[in-house]
Amino acid sequence: MEYIGNIEKMLTQLDDNVKYILPIGEERIEMNQYIGKQISLQFQNQINCVACGTKTNKSFAQGFCFNCFSSAPEASECILHPDKCQAHLGISRDMQWSINHCLTPHIVYLANSSNIKVGITRKTQIPTRWIDQGATAAIIIAVTPNRHIAGIIEKYLMQYYSDKTSWQSMLKGVSNHVDLSAEKAKVKSLLPAELLQYYSTSDDITTIKFPVEEYPVKIKSESFDKTQNVEGVLTGIKGQYLILDHSRVINIRKHRGYLVKFTI
């Protein structure tokens, strides 16, 4: 079977093992069934911006042409620095977009993706965000009415926790035991009163299992910017990465908008 189209980040479903679906053009390919099998991804030397569709020689911020990177709300500063989001002041590249994406309930969480990290996301992005980061467990710390306040809480907690995922450790399946309930209780004692009002009383821990048969040992990261063909036996999927034999991985999200021929 052969499919050609622009790829998008993989869609996911929380199940016993996470289910992954690769969008390629109009097709939606269920990927779990190909674990243990030979697959081939061949870059067709064309990238289309995920916002406007125009051809671009280089992708900015995971899928945008330079023009959209400079103007699209999806690529604005508040995405990388939520505490600088100004939508609540009526300032945004696109107010309608911000009403839907910034001025909606957000959560602050702690997740374990090999190491403990703090993060924020829109409430509707749970558990998608955790799956995309390859987290094996996560707990909600706070629920806020908008992105800005979630960003302030995250920034405060960055004094105590990293906001980064160590993607190589995550892909190697390194798991340091973290007691998320205990860490959450610790956060409660750290937060100042004006932020404590958003503290979540729900102590549910979401656990996530990924479909991985074999973890890479010494990771070799593949990219269509360097290699046209990425092929081999798919040994697992974690976060937004396909894991291939011989310890190779490819970040699908990084290649949003790339025109690819997928052969199985």
Interface with Zn ion by CB under 5 A: which residues? Answer: 49, 51-52, 65, 68
Quote the least distance from Cβ 62 to Zn ion, whole Å. 13
Instruction: Decide whether 101 or 248 has the Cβ nearer to Zn ion.
Output: 101
In the complex with Zn ion, the residue whose CB is nearer, 84 or 93, is 93
Closest distance between Zn ion and the C-beta of residue 112, in Å?
36
CA 169 to chain centroid, in Å, comes to: 16
Neighbour order of strands in the sheet with 11-13:
11-13, 19-24, 27-30
Shortest Å distance, C-beta 97 to Zn ion:
15
Q: Which is nearer to Zn ion, 68 or 157 (CB)?
A: 68
Distances from the Cα of 251 to the Cαs of 6, 7, 103, 164, in angstroms? 15, 12, 30, 16
Distance CA 132, CA 128 (A): 6
Residue type, 222: E
CB of 222 to Zn ion, least distance (A): 25
Token pair 């892909």: residue: 171
Nearer to Zn ion, 50 or 110 (CB): 50
Residue 199 belongs to what H/E stretch? none
Q: Which two tokens stand for residue 56?
A: 């671009």
Q: Which is nearer to Zn ion, 172 or 255 (CB)?
A: 255
DSSP state of 125: G
Give the shortest CB-77-to-Zn ion separation in angstroms.
18
Query: Judged by CB, which is closer to Zn ion: 51, or 157?
Result: 51
Q: Using DSSP, how many helices (H) and how many strands (E) does the chain show?
A: 8, 14
Task: Measure the CA–CA gap between 261 and 264, rounded to whole angstroms.
Answer: 10
Q: Mark 24-42 as b/e (b = at least 16 C-beta within 10 Å).
A: beeeebebbebbeeebebb
* Minimum CB distance to Zn ion smaller for 66 or for 199: 66
Q: From edge to edge, which strands make up the β-sheet containing 205-207?
A: 116-122, 106-112, 137-144, 205-207
Q: How far is the CB of 127 from Zn ion (least distance, A)?
A: 29
- The CB-of-54 to Zn ion minimum distance in angstroms stands at 5
